[in-house]
Chains A and B, each alone.
Chain A
Amino acid sequence: MTRIDDRPATTTRRGALRTLAGAAAGAASLPLWARYTHAQSAEPIRIGFQVHRTGIGAAYGRWYDRTTQAAARLINEAGGINGRPVEIVAEDDGTDPKRGAEVVEKFATQHGCDIAFGTLFSHVVIGSAPRAGELKLPYFVVSEGHHVASGMLNRYTIQPGITDVKSQVQAMAPFVTETLGKKVTLVFPDYAYGHDHRDFFSAAVEAQGGEVLAKLAIPPAETSFTKYFPKIPRETEVLYHVMVGPGVLTFVKELGEFFGGRGPELFGFIDSLEAVAIDSPGLEFLEGSHFWEGMPRYAQPDQSEYDAFYRQQVGVDDTGASVSDPTDISTYGHMFGCWETLYVVKAAMEASGYAGPENRPAMIEAVEAMTEMPHSRQHPQGPKIFNGKTHQVFGRQHISQVRDGRLVKVHTTSIEDTFYPDEVDYTTRPF
């Protein structure tokens, strides 16, 4: 099913796109007009889903897939987008930036996808985004990385379904210093994700009058951790840990053995224990410690009807496990981002009267025009505010405490707690 598409034609198409961008900008201001003139085709809207099926991100990828399929099914049951059914075209990127870029090319030039979507790991996002920009393919990432809002990427890359690490960390810091202690030691993996935590959290803690005593970077792929723990200063009141990857269970277990019950308070990110049962053998040590959660894994007493609906549709029970297999734990703190992003895509395509690739710039502008996203079935995690200039969404954050082997929500930040000054204005960049 190769499509004949020779070189000169491509060049012409690029030229045509440029012309159309201007026209489409006009179309965005007339959504209803656009909708009625373009929605003639019943061809499916093809959404390229870049999924981590293999490689280090596979545990996340599996649940990102389930969430995406559930949202797509619901959208189709409700009539699709602009009267057209949605088709999810999934491709494995092996959690590798090189393959990620190839997959984005495949979506744009082979599968004829309208947009690409769904990437989690930051290095895959950063490796793929330049190609998405060059191919003028809207690229909706669900990554938590600060890469979008930092201005590193391009006008076609947007993160409307999940908050970024900078805002998460900044919103957590007051709780940590006020409730747990002011003398903090950071333990983080020695790569960019960890460095973001190190930099943003250090700044936020110092702004709160706290003090960062030590910053302990652990080499990636490390499998034993006890030998590093003596570097944790004795006077540490709070140990802030953001380890990720398959070594995390070992990390927590060895931390428990090291301190033997005499340790500092622990504050971690649930990223460490996504897809892992919190009552696993060896994790008893976490009892009483605190975690950031994007969305509480355990159904809370004040659970919203939207959370209940979302849980049921994706097939997750009240403890965050799969309804069909209680040992299959979801990545509940992150995967809502796929669901919410697909609904943002739907809203943007409908607002811009999206009919085909020539409307991509108009669709981007429609997303950029979004601001408030109310708590709803489309946004089950909570209300959000989208910043069109930085292409990044902002929302409430949750802190949970481990009590009796369950995660119990103890604090919710406001959306305003997560704001920081804009670092980029993508809307000034050309399409």
Chain B
Amino acid sequence: MEIGPYFLLATLEGAVTAAVLALTAVGLSLVFGVMRVVNIAHGEFFMLGAVIAWWVAQAVGGHPALGFAAALVIAPLIVGGLAAAADMTILKRLDYDPERTIVATIGLLYVIQQVTLMTYGPEARPVEAPFGTRLAIPWIEHAEGGWRLYWPWGLSTTSYKLAVMAAAAAVLLGVWALMARTRIGLVMRATQMDRGMALAFGIPVERVYALVFGLGAGLAALAAVLIVPIRQAHYLMGADPLLLSFIVVIIGGLGSLPGTVVAAVLIGLSDGIISVFFSPTLAKIIATLLVALVLVFRPQGLFGTRAA
């Protein structure tokens, strides 16, 4: 494939990755920003979202769109509820101590993985996309006698992939509106800035924490429901989203939601675009080192105001 069309294709693929990553990472960013804890089990909430989507799609049957629509609502609710319960029964008792939370969420990760393995099983299972027409994309080239339009071999995307990007954008706008325009958002931001002061003003910080933890997990689950028609549900699928969302949150700058989104787009796109120029594994090595170097020379992240 020529470099131009290839570039476009890699960008489109990167954009899908970025969309899903942004949702997952914004969930983590909320938890990280407001509660100041490292949630190692975040990837498992993502995985649960995908697995529950499969259950729901199986149970609903009929046209794939029905099951998918149901999963979009049910999976984030269940996962969010589970996470809030975990917060109230475990994290609260740890006093949100950062180090103990790491161990406890590793424990939670084991529990979630094993329970999924025992109930859902070890297979990768697909969920049918509600729609997914292949869309070939034209490209222009300069031939004899001027510019002309043609359809390069392989240059295409699907309607579903475009819909994922749109849906992610819509949800992100919703999160922004929630944080910036509602009372509950105000309360969350107040808790993030100064927990002690928030308590003094009578904000029920414990309930805010449970809500934030649930919301963060719910966003991860929602991202997983969106991606599961493209990538299948598997009980070990949580590791990658966890690592990537961490990177995105830190690169974006702690506590900065816009920073998280921009970082997700940067990381998603660079993952796609670097692969144009290098052999696949080398591209991964370069992308990984780039992340490290960005932080080395800008430890507060791209949009952070304080050192992370």
A contacts B directly (C-beta below 8 A): yes
Are A216 and B117 touching (Cβ within 8 A)? no
Are A250 and B156 touching (Cβ within 8 A)? no
**B42: Cβ under 8 A from any A Cβ:** no
A217 CA / B64 CA spacing, docked (Å): 34
Question: What 0/1 readout, one digit per residue, does chain A (199-218) give for beta carbons within 8 Å of chain B?
Answer: 00000000000000000111
Chain A, range 219-239, C-beta contacts under 8 Å to B: 219, 221-224, 226-230, 234
Minimum Cβ distance to chain A for residue B299 (Å): 27
Tell me which of A142-150, A252-260, A311-319, A368-376 binds B.
Answer: A252-260
Closest to A325 in B: B121
Closest to A245 in B: B124
| Residue in B9, B240, B280 with the greatest tally of chain A CB atoms within 10 Å | B280
A216-B280, A217-B281, A257-B156 are contacts. A250–B13 as well, Cβ < 8 Å? Answer: no
Are B14 and A257 touching (Cβ within 8 A)? no
Minimum Cβ distance to chain A for residue B3 (Å): 9
Closest to B158 in A: A257
Minimum Cβ distance to chain B for residue A56 (Å): 6
Are A258 and B240 touching (Cβ within 8 A)? no
Chain B contact residue count (CB 8 A cutoff): 42
**A61: Cβ under 8 A from any B Cβ:** yes
Which of chain A's residues have a CB closer than 8 A to the CB of B1?
Answer: 230, 234
Which of chain B's residues have a CB closer than 8 A to the CB of A10?
Answer: none
Closest to B17 in A: A224
Which of chain B's residues have a CB closer than 8 A to the CB of A217?
Answer: 279-281
A54 CA / B235 CA spacing, docked (Å): 10
Are B280 and A226 touching (Cβ within 8 A)? no
Closest to A258 in B: B154
Chain A contact residue count (CB 8 A cutoff): 40
**B134: Cβ under 8 A from any A Cβ:** yes
Are B156 and A190 touching (Cβ within 8 A)? no
Closest to A60 in B: B122
Are B240 and A59 touching (Cβ within 8 A)? no
Which of chain A's residues have a CB closer than 8 A to the CB of B16?
Answer: 224
A234 CA / B136 CA spacing, docked (Å): 17
A216 CA / B283 CA spacing, docked (Å): 13
**B104: Cβ under 8 A from any A Cβ:** no
Are B237 and A228 touching (Cβ within 8 A)? no
Chain A, range 41-60, C-beta contacts under 8 Å to B: 54-56, 58-59
A227 CA / B279 CA spacing, docked (Å): 11
A55 CA / B272 CA spacing, docked (Å): 28
A190 CA / B124 CA spacing, docked (Å): 21
**A276: Cβ under 8 A from any B Cβ:** yes
| Residue in B5, B230, B276 with the greatest tally of chain A CB atoms within 10 Å | B230
Are B280 and A246 touching (Cβ within 8 A)? no
Which of chain B's residues have a CB closer than 8 A to the CB of A250?
Answer: 230-232
**A248: Cβ under 8 A from any B Cβ:** yes
A221-B240, A234-B153, A246-B236 are contacts. A227–B276 as well, Cβ < 8 Å? Answer: yes
Are A218 and B280 touching (Cβ within 8 A)? yes
**A329: Cβ under 8 A from any B Cβ:** yes
A175 CA / B14 CA spacing, docked (Å): 38
A218 CA / B14 CA spacing, docked (Å): 16
**B275: Cβ under 8 A from any A Cβ:** yes
A54-B117, A216-B280, A246-B237 are contacts. A230–B230 as well, Cβ < 8 Å? Answer: no
Are A226 and B126 touching (Cβ within 8 A)? no
Question: What 0/1 readout, one digit per residue, does chain B (1-13) give for beta carbons within 8 Å of chain A?
Answer: 1000110011001
Are B156 and A62 touching (Cβ within 8 A)? no
Which of chain A's residues have a CB closer than 8 A to the CB of B231?
Answer: 223-224, 247, 250
Are B154 and A230 touching (Cβ within 8 A)? yes
**A262: Cβ under 8 A from any B Cβ:** yes
A221-B240, A234-B153, A246-B232 are contacts. A190–B126 as well, Cβ < 8 Å? Answer: no
Which of chain B's residues have a CB closer than 8 A to the CB of A259?
Answer: 154
Minimum Cβ distance to chain B for residue A409 (Å): 24
Are A257 and B134 touching (Cβ within 8 A)? yes
Are B10 and A227 touching (Cβ within 8 A)? yes
Closest to B64 in A: A281
Chain A, range 232-290, C-beta contacts under 8 Å to B: 234, 246-250, 253, 257-260, 262, 275-276, 280-282
A61-B122, A249-B124, A249-B232 are contacts. A223–B240 as well, Cβ < 8 Å? Answer: yes
Question: What 0/1 readout, one digit per residue, does chain B (209-247) give for beta carbons within 8 Å of chain A?
Answer: 000000000000000000000111011110110000000
Partner of B117, one of A58, A222, A224, A247: A58
**B97: Cβ under 8 A from any A Cβ:** no
Which of chain B's residues have a CB closer than 8 A to the CB of A55?
Answer: 236
**B123: Cβ under 8 A from any A Cβ:** yes
A59-B123, A281-B128 are contacts. A227–B232 as well, Cβ < 8 Å? Answer: no
Partner of B280, one of A58, A219, A280, A282: A219
| Residue in B6, B117, B279 with the greatest tally of chain A CB atoms within 10 Å | B279
Chain B, range 82-116, C-beta contacts under 8 Å to A: 113-114
Chain B, range 147-165, C-beta contacts under 8 Å to A: 153-154, 156-158
**B195: Cβ under 8 A from any A Cβ:** no
Are B13 and A224 touching (Cβ within 8 A)? yes
**B298: Cβ under 8 A from any A Cβ:** no
Which of chain B's residues have a CB closer than 8 A to the CB of A222?
Answer: 280, 284
Are A230 and B6 touching (Cβ within 8 A)? yes
Partner of A249, one of B17, B122, B126: B126
Closest to B239 in A: A221
Which of chain B's residues have a CB closer than 8 A to the CB of A258?
Answer: 154, 156
Chain A, range 336-365, C-beta contacts under 8 Å to B: none
Partner of B122, one of A58, A247, A253, A262: A58
Contacts A227-B9, A230-B10, A246-B237 given; 20 further ones with Cβ under 8 A? A55-B236, A217-B279, A221-B239, A224-B230, A226-B13, A227-B14, A229-B154, A230-B1, A230-B5, A234-B1, A234-B153, A246-B232, A248-B124, A249-B124, A250-B230, A257-B134, A259-B154, A260-B154, A282-B128, A328-B121
9 cross-chain pairs, A with B, having the tightest CB-CB distances, nearest first: A58-B122, A230-B1, A246-B234, A246-B124, A59-B122, A281-B128, A230-B6, A227-B13, A219-B281
